[in-house]
Amino acid sequence: MGFLEWLQNSRVGLWISESDWGYPIVLNGHAVGMAIVVGVVLMFCVRVLGYNKSLPATVFEKLLVVAWLGFALNAATGVLLFLGKAQQFIVNPAFLIKIGLIVCGGVSVWLLTRMFDQNPAWAQENDMPSRAKIVAAFVIVFWLGAIVAGRLIGYTLGPPPPPSIT
Amino acid sequence: MTQTENDIMQWLYDTVLGQAIRDSTWMFPSLETVHFIGLSLLMGSMLIVDLRLLGIMRDYPIRHALAFLPWAIFGFVLNTFSGIGFVAADPFMYWPNPAFRLKMYMILLAGLNAAVFTILEHRKVAGFGVGEETNTFTKVSAGLSLGLWIFIIILGRSLPTFEGSMTFF
């Protein structure tokens, strides 16, 4: 636990856990980033699943850039939030499940965009093939699951461990 | 706080809904999760609409962007109902909270902005094709929409920060 404790006691860790504005500012960034990444990704998925079929699904190539910006914002703010209570997060099951779901969510979105790159003909298709729809359904489950797990962290985070004696 | 405000909050507090949410351990967290999913749906669809109206995204006709608006409305409805649940569970925390009041005013402003756009511009821009630029009025309205919804998310997430205070600073 030495490294995690060192992280918590770093200047950034203390800014998050002890300053008046550090935690609220970073948490706000995390909420806005979530809305951007999950929101755009969900719209991409409902299009792949058959909503708004007359819209070429390839326009999401550019819109997904916006989603990845939200993802980057949340990776950055997420690391900062982690630093504030590293020792508590690392043993929290909801946190570990959330990280797993986000990795799956990110990889599956990337997989879906790769399928689009490899099948340029899909740009003209109204109906997406079922393998794209299956991936889109998984993407929705992963990201909604990540929101559920993330919310549960707030209710299940344990108390801080006693400081280690060196 | 006036007597009337106090009476309304007490009534809300005593409703079956308020009692049920307070007595349950899982209802409040579940409503929060619904609220987060709702705001994501609202934000995602508004980004597609507003970025196109602003001209930052131009490679799809505007009517295709507007076709995502039902998801924004669905998200808003989810958040209205889950939000009523939060307030019913603890009205004496929410109503005096300056972040809550400002959030409600900003939602009204965002609604007014959307109504003005719908009445004045919606029908006109719905015919705009790939690459076609909207007028300044529409761009201001779209920029205002994105800015307001982001501000509304921030105000909501800041509710605990301002809990118990009567002013912002």
Asked if residue B168 has pLDDT above 80, the reply is: no
Q: Do A66 and B42 touch (CB under 8 A)?
A: no
Mean pLDDT of chain A: 93
Task: Name every residue whose Cβ is closer than 8 Å to that of residue B9 and which is 6 or more positions away in sequence.
Answer: B91, B92, B95
- The tens digit of pLDDT for each residue in A76-97 reads 999 999 999 999 999 999 999 9
Mean pLDDT confidence for B138-147: 98
Cα A102 from chain centre = 5
The shortest C-alpha distance from A27 to chain B (Å) reads 7
ipTM (interface pTM): 0.94
A157 touches chain B (CB under 8 A): no
Question: In angstroms, how far is CA A146 from the centroid of its own chain?
Answer: 7
In a domain, B169, yes or no: no
Q: Is A56 left (phi over 0), alpha (psi -120 to 50) or beta?
A: beta
* Overall average pLDDT of the A65-82 stretch: 97
Cβ within 8 Å of A, B 19-58: 29, 32-33, 36-37, 39-48, 51, 57
Asked if residue B167 belongs to a domain, the reply is no
Nearest-by-Cβ selection for A39 from B29, B47, B57: B47
Q: Is the pLDDT of residue B41 over 60?
A: yes
**Closest Cα partner for B97 from B11, B148, B158, B9?**
B158
Residue B149: closest CA among B14, B63, B47, B35: B47
- Decide if B168 is inside a domain: no
Tens digits of residue pLDDT in A128-157 = 999 999 999 999 999 999 999 999 999 999
Query: Quick one: pLDDT band at residue B167, thresholds 50, 70, 90?
Result: low
Q: Which of B28, B40, B74, B86 is the mutation pick for testing A, counting most A CBs within 10 A?
A: B40
Domain total of chain B: 1
* pTM for the model: 0.94
The CA distance from A11 to the nearest CA of chain B, in Å, is: 22
CB-side neighbour CA atoms (13 Å) of A89 = 18
Please state the domain extents for chain A.
3-156
Question: Band of the pLDDT at A1, cuts 50, 70, 90?
Answer: low
Nearest to A102 by CA among A158, A64, A150, A45: A150
